[in-house]
Structure 1
Amino acid sequence: AVRDTTQLYVKDNFSMMDDNLMLEVGFKSLSIDYSLDGYRDYADYEIDSQPGYGPQSVEAEYSDNFLPMVGAVYRLNDSDQIFASFAQNYALPAGTDDIFDNAVGFDAPDPKGEEADNYEFGFRTNRETYNGAIALFYTRFDNRLIASSVMNPATGQPEAFYVNAGASKAYGVELSGVFQPEVFDRELYFNANLSYKKAELVDGFGSNPAGSQLPDSPEWLMTGGVTYEPTEWLVANFSAKYTGKRYTDFAESIELDSYLVAQAYVDIGGPNNFGMPENMRLRFNIDNVFDKEVMSFGFTGSTFGRPLSPRTFQATLTVDF
């Protein structure tokens, strides 16, 4: 597939109230020309009397010439700010290649471009030993393409396809921050992020009514980590991510359990006193430190899923010339 994208962007910045209020106003114009040429799957190669045989050409154009955005930051003092923003987005439909690459004997309608209105309001602070932010967000999607699945009778396995679910919305709150206590001489610092998000259908489609929760969309996500930098040549990190329970269907009947997975790395390189060339870096990674056996992904509308990768070790040597 070929995508030719043209985007025009105009914005300006304003300051008011003795430079305590900063405004950014603008808009963008987006145009995407999509084309897929050639043999798409086995049906294009099959010599029979059915329509659709041979190389095919599929074209579609997606454009929106006015996507406004506005952002505002109000400075309360030297360390604290209130911020707010609004933006409209437009995107190529999700799964476009999967939709267009199936050889069919009729002219399938082009999927509509996905649209979104995004709102955000929050507070942030930046202090000597810590910084943090809290934000409320709301996003409404139109023409949201959502992956669903059917069982392939030939293989007995689920295969994903995309349907237009109409409008959907997502709203919630996110907290994030970094803490670098002085007691550790700024060599040790902690970071964390916590978010709550509710994502659900507005219009509903098929047998899925309005208010249905979007599949594979956990309400709770949390990440946290600790980083140790005692010298210029050593960085060590341990972090973990919690993913709350979610469902693989709109009826919230097929549940995937919540899980916690951890990873760690050690990065060695840079100025040192033990003879290692400064243009060389050595990094060790461990993914899924505790070797958790959980389902990390579920096929929408089915009880099938994919397990999380087992504990994995990696070593990387980088040399700059």
Structure 2
Amino acid sequence: MTIRPTKETGAFVKQIVGSNATRKTFARLNTGEVNGLSNWLSVSHTEGQMWRGSGAVRADKVEWNSFFDAGNGNTANLILKYHEQDNNSYSQLTKGQFQQYGRKYDPYPANPTVGSNGKLNSYYALAQNPFQTFTGVLNTQFKLADNLALSVIPYYYWGNGSGVGSSSYALNRGSNQGGIFDLGNLPSAAQYNADGSSTTGVYYRPSRTQTWRPGITTKLNWDLGDHSLQFGYWYERARQSQTQPFIALKSSGKPTDTWPDGNAVVDANGNTVQGRDRFTVTPAQKVWAQDTWYINPDWTLVAGLAYMNVKRDGTNNGSLTEQPEKRNQSYNKLLPNVGLKYQLDERDQLFYSLSRNMRIPQNYVLYDKGLDSINAKPETSWNHELGWRFTDEDMTVAATLFYMQFKDRQVSSKDINGDFADINAGSVNNSGLELEWSGLLPNHFNYYTSYTYTKAEQQDDLTVYNAGKAIVLPTSGKQFANVPKNMLAANIGYDDGRFYGTFGGKYTSKLFGDLTNDEAISGRTVFNLGAGIYLPVDKKVVKDATLRLNVDNLFDKKYLDGVYTTKTNAGTYSGFKDGDPAYIVGLDRTVTVSLEANF
């Protein structure tokens, strides 16, 4: 979400300082409205140190927002965003590493480490995560008649960057293993090993991704009194390049460039050497129709039907280990939805909804060679919700029962080479309850609390293959990985117009890192605190100003926050163990102070 430009000229500035040498400066300038056109421009700069491990974080962002009101319901809103970061990567830990070494442990060494061949093999400076994104959206609304409106929303997304671990990669005359490159221009491994340098023959090899995603959404809304119809069409043609160039190292062990544009190793024929070189084109489209029927003042029925088609055209350009190849796959589904709402009285409402959804496999299934991955099925689900909402002036309560039937449930993991891979977990049924309760209390206090119970039960045993041998894992009846059964949140707040404060906590129960439920991380409760003062100001210059204090993880809880890499089995079955799941490390106590003002 982004705020609409104001009709008045003005400015907003905010300065944040905090833990780990964090500094963030933000400024937004509103031009005001002229002949129906209003705009704002914002810029921000953030920098700081890594809270664990060596390295730093830096990010810059520029955003432009223009809103034009031509009158009579005809509007146009243009939003342009550019973001650039140049950060070191955080390592993720196994449960064993976390328990043995603590949350500050970082397997990415602060100083270069050298292997038995005398070459650098691991260093935090090789764990880079630079990324750039640009997003442009033009949201246009046209009122064609009193009861007919058209929305046309073209958009464009561009992303460019990489993420990689701390290891260096060897490249020499003998590195071409069934691939397409002539490495005769490089010395042999023995020559590199004998030259006395720790940085020759080893390289920074980022997993680089560039993405171009132009698309358009068109919606026609037709009001026929008791019926409100919507017809829509969405089209997108995404292109994605995934490469692994080799970048030389400085004598210090740092890469000569973290943005690999023209500084990569080439072979004897002048071709850029790649550990991976894939280009995927993904045209996707969706067409739908929906009717909202206001049966009477108390009953509303919504029914719709969508058809979604996604095609992936993959070109493997060849690499050090692969020959060129083209592969493609298509996915199609009808996606119906229906909803019913009943207004019992002014404060109480009952509702039910049913929808079908589809999630297609990641594009790397086109290129994986094992187990016929190209024919991986899309994940589909039927989602049921039955609930009650109560609303009055001082209190809101909501209770929702949900039941979700997943087929070909996808879970993202990594294979033995560290490459991302999808696991098809078969059928999974999620059932549970969501409760929310919020409202106002006397003397300027307010409150919010929520509870969620989720039973995510796998319906099938999972078959995996080890050295060509099929192994059936006992996953049926087990809780799905990375889904906690219980989550509870509560918050108390205060705001008297001069001072405000919030204090709250969130409890998350244990969750499993593998599908066989052999390994779990314990539950945790994390508390946060916020406070602030609305400063007295001279209204002629400053409209308002606020001084804020935020403390996340107030009691400095040490915990693992979720699964980063899910495994099929952390225990051993028939001699096979998929490995240890990796987890996201929960952030330590973080304090930030900010001063903001509107001019």
| TM band (smaller chain) | 0.7 to 0.9
Aligned counterpart, 2:447: 190
The code of the aligned residue for 1:208 comes to P
The answer on whether the counterparts of 1:204 and 1:212 sit within 8 Å (CA) in structure 2 is no
The code of the aligned residue for 1:135 comes to T
- How many residues end up aligned between the 2 structures? 296
The code of the aligned residue for 2:445 comes to L
Aligned counterpart, 2:78: none
The answer on whether the counterparts of 2:316 and 2:323 sit within 8 Å (CA) in structure 1 is no
**2:341 is the counterpart of 1:73:** yes
The answer on whether the counterparts of 2:536 and 2:545 sit within 8 Å (CA) in structure 1 is no
The code of the aligned residue for 1:90 comes to M
Q: Secondary structure at the match of 1:45?
A: coil
TM-score normalised by structure 1 residue count: 0.80
Deviation by residue 1:164-203 (Cα, 9 ceiling, x = unmatched): 122111001111110212x22xx32111110100001123
The code of the aligned residue for 2:449 comes to A
The answer on whether the counterparts of 2:537 and 2:544 sit within 8 Å (CA) in structure 1 is no
Aligned counterpart, 1:174: 434
Distance in 2 between residues matched to 1:319 and 1:4, nearest whole Å: 45
Aligned counterpart, 1:218: 484
The code of the aligned residue for 2:480 comes to L
Q: Secondary structure at the match of 2:476?
A: coil
The code of the aligned residue for 2:303 comes to V
The answer on whether the counterparts of 1:69 and 1:85 sit within 8 Å (CA) in structure 2 is yes
Task: Tell me: CA distance 1:320–1:142, structure 2 relative to 1, closer, same or farther (3 Å).
Answer: farther
The answer on whether the counterparts of 2:329 and 2:374 sit within 8 Å (CA) in structure 1 is no
What aligned pairs does 1:223-302 form with structure 2 within 5 A after superposition?
223-231=489-497, 235-266=500-531, 273-275=536-538, 277-278=542-543, 283-298=548-563, 299-301=565-567, 302=580
Q: Secondary structure at the match of 1:146?
A: strand
Aligned counterpart, 2:331: 62
Q: Secondary structure at the match of 2:291?
A: strand
For structure 1, which segment, 123-132 or 293-302, has the greater mean C-alpha deviation from structure 2 after superposition? 293-302
Deviation by residue 1:202-255 (Cα, 9 ceiling, x = unmatched): 233221342121112110011121232221x76543332111012222332312
Aligned counterpart, 2:358: 90
Q: Which of 8, 14, 20 is the matching residue for 2:298? A: 20
**Gapped runs of 5+ residues in structure 2?**
1-239, 241-280, 464-472, 568-579
Distance in 2 between residues matched to 1:190 and 1:171, nearest whole Å: 27
The code of the aligned residue for 2:566 comes to T
Q: Secondary structure at the match of 2:462?
A: coil
TM-score normalised by structure 2 residue count: 0.45
Greater radius of gyration (CA): 2
Distance in 1 between residues matched to 2:372 and 2:475, nearest whole Å: 29
Q: Shift of residue 3 of structure 1?
A: 4.1
**Gapped runs of 5+ residues in structure 1?**
153-157
Q: Which of 376, 388, 396 is the matching residue for 1:131? A: 396
Q: Shift of residue 115 of structure 1?
A: 0.6
Percent of pairs identical after alignment? 24
Q: Shift of residue 122 of structure 1?
A: 1.3
Task: Tell me: CA distance 1:138–1:23, structure 2 relative to 1, closer, same or farther (3 Å).
Answer: same
Distance in 2 between residues matched to 1:63 and 1:267, nearest whole Å: 52
Aligned counterpart, 2:3: none
The answer on whether the counterparts of 1:138 and 1:169 sit within 8 Å (CA) in structure 2 is yes
The answer on whether the counterparts of 1:226 and 1:238 sit within 8 Å (CA) in structure 2 is yes
**2:262 is the counterpart of 1:7:** no
Q: Shift of residue 281 of structure 1?
A: 6.1
Distance in 1 between residues matched to 2:394 and 2:500, nearest whole Å: 19
Q: Shift of residue 319 of structure 1?
A: 6.7
Q: Shift of residue 282 of structure 1?
A: 5.8
Distance in 2 between residues matched to 1:222 and 1:87, nearest whole Å: 27
For structure 1, which segment, 233-242 or 72-81, has the greater mean C-alpha deviation from structure 2 after superposition? 233-242
Task: Tell me: CA distance 1:149–1:3, structure 2 relative to 1, closer, same or farther (3 Å).
Answer: closer
Task: Tell me: CA distance 1:105–1:241, structure 2 relative to 1, closer, same or farther (3 Å).
Answer: closer
Q: Secondary structure at the match of 2:350?
A: strand
Q: Secondary structure at the match of 2:284?
A: strand
What aligned pairs does 1:151-166 form with structure 2 within 5 A after superposition?
151=416, 161-166=421-426
The answer on whether the counterparts of 1:88 and 1:115 sit within 8 Å (CA) in structure 2 is yes
The code of the aligned residue for 1:112 comes to K
Distance in 2 between residues matched to 1:4 and 1:225, nearest whole Å: 45
The code of the aligned residue for 2:304 comes to G
Aligned counterpart, 2:7: none
Q: Shift of residue 71 of structure 1?
A: 0.7
The answer on whether the counterparts of 1:90 and 1:113 sit within 8 Å (CA) in structure 2 is yes
The answer on whether the counterparts of 2:545 and 2:595 sit within 8 Å (CA) in structure 1 is yes
Q: Secondary structure at the match of 1:109?
A: helix
Task: Tell me: CA distance 1:317–1:19, structure 2 relative to 1, closer, same or farther (3 Å).
Answer: same
Q: Alpha carbon RMSD of aligned pairs, Å?
A: 3.0
The answer on whether the counterparts of 1:34 and 1:61 sit within 8 Å (CA) in structure 2 is yes
Aligned counterpart, 1:45: 319
The answer on whether the counterparts of 2:380 and 2:408 sit within 8 Å (CA) in structure 1 is yes
